Amino acid sequence: MDEALKFCRTDGATLVHDSVASEVETSLLPHTTAAATARGTGPTTVLPSETAQTETDRLTRPSLRRNFIIGIGVVIFVVGATVVIGSWYIARRNSAAIQSIAVIPFVNATGNAEADYLSDGLTESLINSLSQLSNLSVKARSTVFRYKNRDISPQQAGSELSVQAVLNGRVVQRGDQLTVSVDLVNARTGDQIWGQQYNGKMADTVALQAQIASDVSRRLQANFSTEDREKLNRRSTTNADAYLLYLKGRYQTAKYTKDGLAKGREYFDQAIAIDPRYALAYDGIADNYIAAADWFMASKEALPRAGAAAKKALELDDTLAEAHASLATAHWWFDWDWPAAEMEFKRAIQLDPNDARARQFFGWFLLTLGKSDAAIAENKRAQSLDPLSVETNILLGQSLYFARRYDEAIEQLRNTLDMDPNYWLAHSVLGRSYEEKGKPDEAIVEFQRALDLEIDVPENYAMLAHGYAVAGRKSEAIKLVDQLEDMSTKRHVPPYNIAIVYAGLGDKEQAFSWLERAYADRSFYLTWLKYDPQLDSLRSDPRFADLTRRVGLP
């Protein structure tokens, strides 16, 4: 290979620009000087008599002519070589393998918001498919969906996400007709690498999604293995109706509301009724129940169903990394089987090392084992994979809080709120960090903000009540805990939340009474038991050590 070619990186970036040309010129024309050029092209002084020329003069003139011709030839050669090398370099740069990509949420151009499930679902499906390619870094759903309904250039998205290419899409549904337009764009230059329009019927949706994923992977110019191709082409279902119901289930589940989760489960059930071997739909059910546990449904009701659905998904397809992560969470939160949970988390990460969600949950899991340094390292790894995910950044802040590194937690959570000031959980964990720093007034402000943003989660009432108790505003704390107890007669309220308030009030009897109810519910909150700073006032009581032992915390 010509040594000049070594000045190109595999991603197409230029390491040396003008210096390459100057090196070529210097090496090929070592004797071309200004004086030599003048000798070849400058005016010649004519002596009065040609006959007076010496033998040396007669020999010199043809020599100069010959040097001039040679010089011109060398210049032509250098120019030609430069053009050839430059053309090769430009072609090489434009066709370089793309190793990182972001699939920007497809635009729903149907004119009907109810079709968002289709544009969002196709986006998520493509992310999941392309993530199967081992040599390709694909930004996670939680990161790219920040760009939904935003007018942003490929260059800006590429810069913010640090990717080489951006895939944009547009979906139009007219009755049974479906049109999907996609464009693969160079994130540095904004130039289109490739574009295609796909037309078909709604019944063709599964095949269409698979075709788009296959076409995009070919345009990336990367050398994917046969195993990668097999993963890419693997279809979880061939039934378009089941696939569309699955997309609706994911769309509703992602809302993380009581109604959204209920609707999501209905859609997943309908998908499975059509295709009982639809592994991804079973994993959808598992994720749905995990999201509902102890927020909208008792853990003893939600988590066994999550575990059963994850196991069924893995019976159908043992390579589903997300199903291994779901099963790990069920083992951890409900079975309190720490070795089984750790094994499943590691299997999920082995199958998909770039799955930020699996890594962030694994980090949280390690924290409950008391391995705070390893936990934070795992959460930071998840953050590096999915830097713009609010959830990933919150879990890093929460890990720092449970590790009692409060200053770092406060800084991390403030940064998270700069990304999304309306995410209630970030306000909640920030409030707890302020509490432990002895800043009850700042804590109450954050707890109140969390409650204002999400009034359907009992945890927010409990945190505000605890904040009041710590600040010495006991009457307000008691009023809120009474409200929580009344609420518990009408809907699920995690007993752990009420126990937290009584711990803040210094009422150990009530605190332990509600912790026992949490134990009977198999509350996932009890995995925090050993490390939750809000329970520090109870740790010296023998009942606390006994409860920790029964939960099985190491």
Q: Are residues 118 and 24 in the same domain?
A: no
Tell me: do 74 and 137 sit in the same domain: no
Task: Answer yes or no: are the C-beta atoms of 110 and 65 closer than 8 Å.
Answer: no
Please tell me whether residues 216 and 280 are part of one structural domain: no
How many Å apart are CA 291 and CA 389, to the nearest integer?
17
Residues 28 and 141 in one domain: no
| 156 and 256 inside one domain | no
Give the count of alpha carbons within 13 A of 393, CB side only.
23
Helix axes 495-505, 508-520, angle to 10 degrees: 170
Helices 474-488 and 495-505, axial angle in degrees (round to 10): 160
Using the 3D structure, point to which of 218, 235, 252 is the last residue of a domain. Answer: 235
CATH number at residue 212: 3.40.50.10610
- The answer as to whether 372 is a domain residue is no
CATH value at residue 259: 1.25.40.10
Identify whether residues 23 and 131 lie together within a single domain. no
Per the domain annotation, does 161 fall within a domain? yes
Question: Are 158 and 220 found together in one domain?
Answer: yes
Q: Are residues 87 and 135 in the same domain?
A: no
The span from the CA of 521 to the CA of 493, in Å, is 11
Domain end point (choices 302, 337, 372): 337
Q: How many CB atoms lie within 10 A of CB 132?
A: 23
Range of the domain at 12: 3-42+57-94
195, 271: one domain: no
Tell me, yes or no, whether 223 and 327 share the same domain.
Answer: no
Distance between CA 119 and CA 368 in Å, rounded? 38
What distance in Å separates the CA atoms of residue 350 and residue 318, rounded to the nearest whole number? Answer: 12
Q: Residue 134: its pLDDT value, please?
A: 77
State the pTM of this model.
0.76
Say if 431 falls within a structural domain: no
Indicate if 109 and 222 belong to the same structural domain: yes
CA–CA separation, 153 and 230 (whole Å): 33
Q: What is residue 65's predicted lDDT score, i.e. its pLDDT?
A: 52
Which pLDDT score, from 0 to 100, does residue 66 have?
56
* Amino acid code (one letter) for 73: G
Residue 120 domain-assigned (yes or no): yes
Encoded tokens for 407: 């200053």
Polymer length in residues for the chain = 554
DSSP letters spanning 185-211: EETTT--EEEEEEEEEEGGGHHHHHHH
- State which of 235, 253, 284 marks the end of a domain: 235
Question: Does 351 map to a domain?
Answer: no
Supply the DSSP string of 47-110, one letter for each residue: PS-GGG--HHHHHHHHHHHHHHHHHHHHHHHHHHHHHHHHHHHHHHHHTPPP-EEEEPPPEE-S
Q: What's the confidence (pLDDT) of residue 343?
A: 97
From first to last of its 554 residues, what are the pLDDT tens digits of the chain? Answer: 444 333 334 344 433 333 333 333 333 233 333 333 333 334 333 333 444 444 444 444 555 555 545 555 544 554 454 444 444 444 444 446 888 999 999 999 998 888 899 999 999 889 888 888 878 889 888 889 889 888 889 999 999 989 999 999 999 999 999 999 999 999 999 999 999 999 999 988 988 888 998 899 888 866 666 776 666 666 678 899 999 999 999 999 988 888 999 999 999 999 999 999 999 999 999 999 999 999 889 999 999 999 999 999 999 999 999 999 999 999 999 999 999 999 999 999 999 888 888 999 999 999 998 899 999 999 999 998 888 888 899 999 999 999 999 999 999 999 999 999 998 999 999 999 999 999 999 999 999 999 999 998 999 999 999 999 999 999 999 999 999 999 999 999 999 999 999 999 999 999 999 999 999 999 999 999 989 999 999 999 999 999 999 999 87
Whether 208 and 329 map to the same domain: the answer is no
- Residue 215 forms part of a structural domain: yes
Number of domains observed in the structure of the chain: 3
pLDDT of residue 96: 66
Nearest Cα to 283, choosing from 301, 299, 305, 298? 305
Q: Is residue 536 part of a domain?
A: no
